[in-house]
Chains A and B, each alone.
Chain A
Amino acid sequence: DAGVIQSPRHEVTEMGQEVTLRCKPISGHNSLFWYRQTMMRGLELLIYFNNNVPIDDSGMPEDRFSAKMPNASFSTLKIQPSEPRDSAVYFCASSLRAGAQPQHFGDGTRLSIL
């Protein structure tokens, strides 16, 4: 079975540019999560969706960050404009449904903003 698929795997861009990260959850999973990992802060939840609806975006650091889930098999996380402090590894995870279901992570996108 295919796991969570993220693209691109690596992204290097200059500050001020728009960055779009993509995620395809595991088929049949109804909950999708975006996390960010840095050395200083560890893994932090940014936003999550249940049945394509954003439930909690309190972890989104600034208005420069936005996320969408237009259908059950696709989500995007967009940063516009990007800044060097956004450099991190961004992970997408999915689970069968909301609640105490284990979350399965994609391989992540390593983002570097110059």
Chain B
Amino acid sequence: QKEVEQNSGPLSVPEGAIASLNCTYSDRGSQSFFWYRQYSGKSPELIMFIYSNGDKEDGRFTAQLNKASQYVSLLIRDSQPSDSATYLCAVLSGGGADGLTFGKGTHLIIQP
């Protein structure tokens, strides 16, 4: 059973600070990793993806991947109230499977 684990939160971060969201996965053969943001009552929105070990930066967002530790994280710099949402970690396993396995998400609250 492929599993993706996230702390459900809520994670409360002051405006302007760095929000750090973490995710672990069980399938060592996993190849691709995605972060989605989901506002209440809305659909998941892709914000980052990462395939290789290390860091990938896009604006205020940085995804970090450590395949040896089976760990992926998302950093949000200069957090804004509009970043308040649930962040879903999704993993694409190897072996030809194309469907994503999602964590249950971390509820992030940015306090003004």
Contact = CB atoms under 8 A, between A and B. Distances in A.
Are A and B co-members of a single complex?
yes
B102 interface: yes
A70 interface: no
A103 B46 CA distance: 8
B99 A107 contact: no
A31 B97 CA distance: 12
Q: How extensive is the interface on chain B, given as a class? A: 20 to 34
B88 A43 contact: yes
A95 B34 CA distance: 13
Interface of B: 31-32, 34, 36, 42-46, 49, 51, 88, 90, 92, 97-105
Given A42-B105, A50-B98, A104 B46 contact: yes
Interface of A: 31, 33, 35, 42-45, 48, 50, 55-56, 59, 91, 95, 98-100, 102-108
Contacts of B98: 31, 33, 48, 50, 55-56, 95, 98-99
Contact residues of A: prevailing secondary structure: strand
Contacts of A99: 92, 98
A59 B88 CA distance: 19
B100 A103 contact: yes
